[in-house]
Structure 1
Amino acid sequence: MTIKSLTYAELAARLGVKPESARRLAQRRKWQRTIGNDGAARVFVPIDALPSPATSPRDTDKAENSAATDTHDDAGDVTRDNPAAVAVLEAQIEGLKALLAAEARRAEAAERERDDWKAEAAAWQAHAQRGFLRRLFG
């Protein structure tokens, strides 16, 4: 039996019900539950218990709409028909740019620290190569 790990919200969206109803359904059917790395409860749902993507209400609406407008490109539909999605994606891009800049600063700091440690190690190596009496009396 094939299973899929879903949060209650994802399960609810797949089934077209509220998250609380999805939680009760998981309890009734005694599906295994666990806590994911993100802290959200996850349920191991048998694939057979999930409706096929073609029968979900959202997908049937999309299929009807795409049949009516088959001449449009999918990428074009996102920009023309859904400016809110574009705004969300642009905000995510800005967040990723900020994350990239922070990681670049962190990498530069690590490289500077590495260079400092190398210089200190070279100084200690030079100090260790001098004779014992020179090290003692300078």
Structure 2
Amino acid sequence: MTTDTSDVRWLTYDELGAALGITPDSARRLVARKKWPRRAGNDGRARIGVPAERIPDKPPVSPPDARDDVDADDGPDARDDVIPVVSILTQHIDRLEKELQSVKNERDEERIRAAQLAIQAAQVDALNVVIEVERQRAEDARRRTEELKQQTEELKAERDRWASALEASQRQITHLQQAEKLVDQAEKAAAERRGWFGWLKRA
């Protein structure tokens, strides 16, 4: 950095920004990069030793906020300052793109899993329908079994009633047969008595 005061102009940040067509903040960053000398003026404001060749003869036409410190600093040092930033941003973009691709892959995998789950859910629903149909059939069979069981019990009761009636009839028949035998025996005894009395009369 040259120290020849004849080649240096001492300007405030506002004056430097106006001369270069940049904002005062951009002028501060430019001074920090170039490491230009700095001293306090009589008014207490900082003065920057700017090389005379860096100050154009006429201020730029564009307003101060239309350009930044990189545009004003068109030397190789400015490009050297920008290159690392671009490299960092490029690496950051690459990392974000990889993360984005990873997220897309995870999203695709989740979609596949969701489709598989949907298929499984449909299969479960179909299986539930089959189970419900079979359950209804089993319930119908159970009711039919209960009905047949009740009918069987009723038939057994009817059979028992007929068996009881038959048994009673058989007892009556037996009694009648016994009564007939008694009647026959009585008739035979009466006939014998009549025959004996007739013999006595003839004797």
Do the structures match in fold with TM over 0.5?
no
Tell me the TM-score normalized by structure 2. Answer: 0.30
Name the structure with the higher helix share: 2
Tell me the TM-score normalized by structure 1. Answer: 0.43
